[in-house]
Amino acid sequence: MTPVAASAPSLPSFIKMEDRKRAAGQSTDDLAPPTKRQAINGAGKAAADSDNTAPWSEDIEKYQKDAIYRQMLEYKREKATLESQLKNIQKKSTDHDDHLRIIDAWWTQLLEEVTLLAENDIPNSEKPEISFSTSLQFNGIKGFSDHLASKGIAIKSKLHTIFTKVAAARGKPSADLQDLQVKVTKMLASQKEYLVTVDRLRNEKEELNERLESASLRYIKAEKRLDRLRSDAVRKEEAKALYHSTANGIRAENSLDTEMTNGIAEDKEASQTAYKEAQAVVEKQKEQLEAMAAENKSLTEQITSASIKQVPSDDDYARTELFKQFRIQHEDVIKRINHLEATNIQLREEAEKLQAERTAYRIQIENEAETSTGELESQLQRLDADLTRIRSARDELLADLSVRKATQDQDHAAVEHLKELVGAKDDRITSLELEVERLRQIAEQSCQPTPGPEIDSLSLEQLRVKYDLLQQGYDSINKELPALQSAYKRVQALTSKKVMDFTALEEKVSVLAAEKSKADQKYFAARKDMDIRLAEVRSLKNQNAKSSEIISQLKDVETSDRTLVSNMEKQLSDMRQSNNSIMAENKKLEASSREATSKCESLKNQAAELTNLLKSKDSANSSTRQKIHAVELENEQLRIRCEQAQKDRDAWKQKSLSNQSGEEEMLRTLALCTICRANFKNTVLKTCGHLFCNHCVDDRIANRMRKCPNCAKPFDKSDVMTAHM
| CA atoms of 282 and 290, how far apart (whole Å) | 12
Q: Of the ranges 14-23, 91-100, 188-197, which one carries the lowest mean pLDDT score?
A: 14-23
Predicted confidence at residue 143, as pLDDT, reads: 52
Side-chain half-sphere of 273: how many Cα atoms within 13 Å?
20
Judge whether residue 563 has pLDDT over 80.
Answer: yes
* Domain final residue, candidates 91, 109, 141: 91
Banded model confidence at residue 124, pLDDT cuts 50, 70, 90: very low
Rounded CA-CA distance 530/524 in Å is 10
Query: ∠ at Cα 128 (127, 129), nearest 5°?
Result: 115
Domain that holds residue 690: 662-722
| 721 close to 684: Cβ distance less than 8 angstroms | yes
Query: What is the CB neighbour count within 10 angstroms for residue 25?
Result: 21
Q: pLDDT digits over 502-526, tens only?
A: 767 777 877 887 787 777 777 877 7
Say which residue, 665 or 719, is predicted with more confidence.
Answer: 719
What pLDDT is stored for residue 332 in this prediction? 83
Cα angle value 551/554/556 (rounded, 5°): 115
Mean pLDDT of 374-401: 81
Q: How confident is the model at residue 96 (pLDDT cuts 50, 70, 90)?
A: confident
Q: Residue 691: in which H helix or E strand, if any?
A: strand 691-692
Element housing 263 (H / E): none
Q: Give the three-class secondary structure for 684.
A: strand
Q: Alpha-carbon distance 158 to 175, whole Å?
A: 25
- Indicate the range of 100-114, 132-146, 558-572 predicted with least confidence: 132-146
In a domain, 225, yes or no: no
pLDDT of residue 2 exceeding 50, the answer is no
Do the domain assignments include residue 672? yes
Q: Tell me, what's the pLDDT at 693?
A: 92
6, pLDDT greater than 60: no
Residue 536 falls inside a structural domain: no
Most confident of 252-256, 462-466, 503-507, 661-665: 462-466
Structural domain includes residue 11: yes
Bigger pLDDT: 570 or 27? 570
Residue 40: C-alpha distances to residues 16, 44, 373, 388 (Å): 40, 11, 10, 19
Q: Is residue 641 part of a domain?
A: no
pLDDT of 50 over the 60 cut: no
**Rounded distance between C-alpha atoms, residue 350 and residue 570, angstroms:** 13
Q: How far apart are CA 459 and CA 454, in angstroms?
A: 10
Task: Report the share of the chain in percent with pLDDT over 90.
Answer: 0
**Using H for helix, E for strand and C for coil, what is the string for 296-339?**
HHHHHHHHHHHHHHHCCCHHHHHHCHHHHHHHHHHHHHHHHHHH
Q: What percent of the chain has pLDDT over 70?
A: 66
- Closest by CA to 18, choosing from 85, 72, 61, 64, is 64
Residue 235 predicted with pLDDT over 60: no
How far, in Å, CA of 688 to CA of 263, rounded? 15
**Backbone Cα Rg of the chain:** 65
Task: Report d(CA 663, CA 656) in Å as an integer.
Answer: 7
What pLDDT digit, counting tens, does each position of 243-300 carry? 554 333 333 333 333 333 333 334 566 666 767 777 777 777 777 777 777 777 777 7
- Other CB atoms closer than 10 Å to residue 683's CB: what's the count? 19
Q: Which helix (H) or strand (E) segment is 64 a member of?
A: helix 44-117
Q: How many CB atoms lie within 10 A of CB 390?
A: 11
**The predicted structure's pLDDT at residue 603:** 78
Measured between alpha carbons, how far is 591 from 421 in angstroms, rounded to an integer?
112
What is the reported pLDDT for 117? 60
Mean pLDDT of all residues in 397-409? 76
Q: What is the pLDDT of residues 320-352, one digit of tens each?
A: 777 777 778 778 888 888 888 888 888 888 888
The least confident of 251-265, 375-389, 551-565 is 251-265
Distance CA 668, CA 685 (A): 21
Q: What is the DSSP track for 351-375?
A: HHHHHHHHHHHHHHHHHHHHHHHHH
Mapped onto helix, strand or coil, the DSSP state of residue 266 is coil
> What pLDDT score was predicted for residue 35?
42
H or E, element range at 620: helix 460-658
Has residue 231 got a pLDDT over 70? no
Query: Does residue 228 carry a pLDDT above 60?
Result: no
Which among 70, 91, 112 is the end of a domain? 91
Q: Decide if 210 contacts 261 (C-beta within 8 A).
A: no
Q: Flag whether 74 is in a domain.
A: yes
Higher-pLDDT residue of 117, 211 = 211
Residue with more model confidence, 356 or 446: 356
Residue 343's alpha-carbon distances to 13, 336, 427, 570, in angstroms, are 20, 10, 109, 11
Asked if residues 166 and 122 have their Cβ atoms less than 8 Å apart, the reply is: yes
Q: Any residues with CB less than 8 A from the CB of 570 and at least 6 apart, and which?
A: 347
* pLDDT tens-digit series, residues 411-461: 666 667 667 777 777 777 787 778 777 777 766 664 455 455 666 677 778
User: pTM of the entire structure?
Assistant: 0.22
pLDDT at 635 over 70: yes
What does DSSP assign to residue 714?
B
- Residue 713 near residue 687, CB atoms below 8 Å: yes
Span 680-721, pLDDT tens digits: 888 998 888 888 899 999 998 888 888 888 888 898 888 888
Q: How many CB atoms lie within 10 A of CB 136?
A: 18
Model confidence band, residue 14 (pLDDT cutoffs 50, 70, 90): very low
- Of 153-162, 376-385, 674-683, where does mean pLDDT reach its minimum? 153-162
Predicted local distance difference test score (pLDDT) of residue 442:
67
CA distance 342 to 331: 17
d(CA 424, CA 494): 9
> What is the SS3 string spanning 375-391?
HHHHHHHHHHHHHHHHH
CATH number at residue 686: 3.30.40.10
Ranked by mean pLDDT, the top range of 1-5, 107-111, 199-203, 352-356 is 352-356
Last residue of a domain, one of 75, 91, 107: 91
8 A C-beta contact, residue 196 and residue 144: yes
Residue 254 lies in a domain: no
Burial classification of residue 567, based on how many CB atoms lie within 10 Å of its CB (0-12 exposed, 13-18 middle, 19 or more buried):
middle
What pLDDT, on a 0 to 100 scale, did the predictor assign at position 481?
Answer: 76
Q: What pLDDT was estimated at residue 136? A: 44
Alpha-carbon distance of 238 to 330, in angstroms, equals 25
Whether 487 and 424 have beta carbons less than 8 Å apart is answered as yes
Number of domains forming the structure of the chain = 2
